[in-house]
Amino acid sequence: MSDSSPEKIALTQLSRKQRRVLGTLLEKAFTTPDQYPLTLKAAVAGCNQKSNRDPVTNYDEDDVATALEELREIGFVGEVHTEGGRTERYRHYLRHRTDLTEAQMAVMTELMLRGRQQVGELRTRASRMVAIPSLEELRDVLQSLLERGMVRANGSLERRGIEVDHNLYNPGENRETLSELGEEPAAGSAPVRVASAVAPKTSEQDDTIAELQSAVSDLRNQVEELKEELAELRRQLGA
């Protein structure tokens, strides 16, 4: 009997718009399954939302429709028709077309939507989608992605303040080098840290601070988003 399962596809180089659109589909599938698959308008709104996005974009429907079609041709996205629905909707197929785990997908989703970030920040944000109980478990996920060339880091994952980024850039795309991510100076170079009598923070303390800062930032973004939605509702009621 032949294997009817779909052929696996490597998640490798994608354009900026493809990464944003695919990341948005993945995020909404995790966080708002009752509103998923997404219509084109919902995909545009998700790509351009001001929370959990960096940079904030202003894509129009043509931009997103083009990226969706490109992702469909690769095999990462499909167009579906829901029962009774008149509008086409779109969903991702990464669960079927790649061998990524749920945690790996959540991490890649967050990196596609926000780019480079510290390990503590990444755990807080990716945990919105999939439970990642500890930093050690996140480091295991990141290590598996590093070994597959899907992410990059500016040093050992155990180092405090380490930053990671996805590695899906197209050739020639203007991306930051690892040194610009804050790579430590080579051995023998002049030290850049000033000596202090205060005991240095541990990696766990540094990551915990990053988690708290990330949580505060995300809460502020959510408040701003709620304010915008409330203002829109008031305008609609006034009309």
pLDDT, tens digit, 9 for 90 and up, residues 127-156 = 999 999 999 999 999 999 999 999 999 999
| Residue keyed to tokens 């083009």 | 66
Going by pLDDT thresholds of 50, 70 and 90, the confidence category of residue 229 is low
154, two tokens:
């500016």
Alpha helices (H) in the chain, listed in sequence order: 16-31, 40-48, 61-74, 94-97, 102-114, 119-126, 135-147, 203-238
Q: Average pLDDT of 27-38?
A: 96
Name 165's bridge partners. 152
Is 71's pLDDT higher than 80?
Answer: yes
Answer with the residue of higher pLDDT: 215 or 91: 91
The pLDDT of residue 87 is 85
Give Cα 215 distance to the centre of its chain: 15
Answer with the residue of higher pLDDT: 200 or 75: 75
All CATH 1.10.10.10 domain ranges of the chain, comma separated, are 16-97, 100-174+202-239
- 100-174+202-239 maps to which CATH number? 1.10.10.10
Listed in sequence order, the residues at least 6 apart from 63 whose beta carbon sits closer than 8 Å to its beta carbon are 17
Quick check: 65 and 40 in contact, CB under 8 A?
yes
Q: Average pLDDT of 73-92?
A: 88
CATH class, 16-97 region: mainly alpha
Is 197's pLDDT higher than 70?
Answer: no
The pLDDT of residue 18 is 98
The pLDDT of residue 191 is 33
The pLDDT of residue 66 is 98
Going by pLDDT thresholds of 50, 70 and 90, the confidence category of residue 173 is confident
| Mean pLDDT lowest among 93-97, 121-125, 230-234 | 230-234
